[in-house]
A and B are shown apart, each in its own frame.
Chain A
Amino acid sequence: MYKILDKVDYSDDVYMQVIEAPAVAAAAQPGQFIVLRIHEEGERIPLTIADFDREAGTITIVVQAVGKSTRHLQKLGKGDSIANFIGPLGLPSEIEKVGTVICAGGGVGVAPVYPIARALKEAGNKVISIVAARNESLLLWEDKMREVSDELIVTTDDGSCGRHCLVTEPLKELCEAGGIDLIYAIGPGIMMKFCCKTTKEYGVKTIVSLNSIMVDGTGMCGACRVSVGGETKFVCVDGPEFDGHQVDFDLLMSRQRQYLSQEKESLDLYVECGGDKRCMT
């Protein structure tokens, strides 16, 4: 069992948990992910590592509740435990000194960008961060991002905070101005797709972190396959980071929707039963 040491709700749907997992924390690096399972009947869900503390032996995750498992996890707080917590999985980000790097995070995608931005900064890069969300209530980790960035831009789709625009607007301006050596863009599929579309014109290498459906997360099942440069890759062992200009985002998003009807059925039943497992059998 893995203990939840801390939990913070950021909004009705988004929350942060700090999980005690010393072996995972000892090995964790920016860009990697974990797989967790809440209980014996639970599914295995992959989540990108938002932060890690090797000394405290903890991993931080930031989750957007969408289906049954993430709703259930949301109900668990400090002192509760989850059955399984496996990681760190996937290949770590390649952190090097390249010059000026843009780190753009959309929605909960800001969380996994954070350790990457921090590492890039520590490696001596100039870090320009863009923190984007649909509205102010969904903005997160603005302060943490500011600490590790030379420059921070906030955007909201509705203008409730920061600039009233999509993440692609400042991205385009920065590319236009030139001097950008590398871009990280992490967030929902549609956000990454359009970020890559924007940066491709300028030929600036753009790395994305893909969040496909997985079961084991160690290469065994192939559920997470994506098309990169026309070749099939497994996100869990070949990624999760890829050259965004090579990724087939439409396929990624289509595959993410595979279980929508079952996910709805499961969530409806969960809500109907008030989370009581016995009524689901």
Chain B
Amino acid sequence: MHDVNTDKPGDKPEKKPKRPKLPRTGIPEQPAKQRATNFDEVTLGYNEDMAKLEASRCLQCKKPKCVLGCPVGIDIPAFIKLIEDGDSAAAIAKLKETTSFPAVCGRVCPQEEQCELHCILGRKQEPVAIGRLERYAADWEFANGSSSKPEIAASKGKSVGVVGSGPAGVTCAGELAKMGYDVTIYEALHKPGGVLVYGIPEFRLPKAIVQRECDYVESLGVEIKLDYVIGRTLTVDQMMEKGHEAVFLANGAGLPSFMNIPGENLNGVYSANEFLTRSNLMKAYRFPEYDTPIKVGKKVAVIGGGNVAMDSARTALRLGAEVHLIYRRSREEMPARAEEVHHAEEEGIIFNLLTNPTQIIGDNEGWVEEIEVVDMELGEPDASGRRRPVTVDGSERRIPVDVVIVSVGTRANPLLTKSTSGLDLNKWGNIVADEHTLLTSKEGVFAGGDIVTGAATVILAMGAGKTAARSIDRYLQGEPLLTAEEEEAIYTAEEKAAEKAAAK
């Protein structure tokens, strides 16, 4: 019924295998042709046998490298061992000691660059499928209707306000609630989850899962106030006047960037944010059952090479369009996850690589008709270390399209920052926060996630949420934000880096 994506086994057998050498366990997926026409989840997840088999591949390293690759420091070997032993309930409980979003992270984390990159098994063969196992444990809990809850400390009688219910905000709120703080999250939209609900499509992350994870955080005692725009409905200063003794700003990346080429304001040109928000948050893919409309398009151009571009392209495809992805560099430089690029290609997205748009041409009614592009070739490496794309003279050509989706990143949203006094910003408008403590220039105010780093990943935002919770706890207990050991560790690391630089 379903395709099984069989991963390649390692090339050569090890000399002294401690365990029988098994290839990485494949995961069932909806066949590409079938899934290209629906919004159901692409990857279907392990069953118990698959999970146990995959878990048995884990070497249970004494000094696990995978944990170091995890921004939130999940005890990976421990939860995998519990799956192998058939105790899924204990496995999810173990996960929840460290993460509030296991079902989400198991699906959207770039494990290949984090935990799985460091997996010792991965040196000789394919690494353990840590992400798939995390997802299995989380889905097992949901399927079995149980909900393990970690221990919640006695009330500390102090209140914290969190701005934004995305991965950073919810993680921070969950951690603080477990420590015994009263936490209120303020969310501007009508649903909690931030980018997980408005940005990431249903077929990659079902919204019921996001809702379930948010419900879990509420079950820890966190209050989520929806329809609350901090900076408009309430200012940060008013939040503190109302009794929050500390505030964590995790309001996300914000404004979509455009390319500043002619024709970008024509009808039928979307930012990826708008296109995805219409489809995901507002469920425009179910119009007219849902009221929000979306221009479907017969032929759609998606500009960009990141995960958001892939999400936009695959959404447009499912709405029934022929989709052309336009990216100015080559496949190697694409910032999207390999898995997403692979899925997109399998589903029939047409890749126009080393191609750059120069203008969008409209008809008499103001609607998109064509996009003009030029060929690019790769020159010398630029500041990002990637080879700089250079225009090939005389290569202009036009592609007829009726919808263009611009997915070239975001800028900081000024809405909150402009209405908050005493908050230092960098030249791009992002909030300046100490990289170790996340404290801002404003007393009692911490910040993390995309509003500090610019658009990044879900798990990095969760990592920031955890760091913020630790700092806020120490701040409210009147302790130094960093322990002596932590300061020592940072000092040593900086010293080493300086030595290294000097040696060069």
Contact = CB atoms under 8 A, between A and B. Distances in A.
Contacts of A234: 255
B409 to A, nearest CB: 12
A220 B289 contact: no
Interface of A is mostly: mixed
B227 interface: yes
Q: Which among A68, A218, A220, A222 has the greatest number of chain B C-beta atoms within 10 A?
A: A220
Interface string B212-246: 00000000000000111100111000000000000
Given A44-B282, A88-B233, A215 B291 contact: no
Nearest to A269: B288
Contacts of B227: 84-86
Interface string B418-442: 0000000000000000000000000
Contact of B271 (A27, A222, A263): A222
Contacts of B189: 216
Interface stretch (A35-43, A130-138, A193-201): A35-43
Contacts of B233: 23-24, 27, 86-88
Given A89-B232, A216-B277, A221-B274, A69 B291 contact: yes
Contact of A220 (B190, B234, B413): B413
Contacts of A254: 267, 365-366
Contacts of B288: 262, 265-266, 269, 280
Interface in A239-281: 251, 254-255, 257-259, 262-263, 265-266, 269, 280-281
Contacts of A83: 190
B291 A258 contact: no
A255 B267 contact: yes
A86 B277 contact: no
Interface residues of B, number: 42
Residue in A41, A221, A232, A269 whose Cβ sees the most chain B Cβ within 10 Å:
A221
* Residue picked from B189, B232, B255, B290, most chain A C-beta under 10 Å: B232
A81 interface: no
Contacts of B228: 23
Given A83-B190, A84-B227, A222 B274 contact: yes
11 contacts: A23-B228, A86-B188, A216-B277, A226-B265, A232-B264, A237-B415, A251-B366, A255-B265, A258-B295, A266-B288, A266-B293
The 3 nearest A-B residue pairs measured at CB: A262-B293, A221-B274, A254-B366
Interface of A: 23-24, 27, 32, 37, 41-44, 68-69, 83-89, 215-216, 218-223, 225-227, 232, 234, 237, 251, 254-255, 257-259, 262-263, 265-266, 269, 280-281
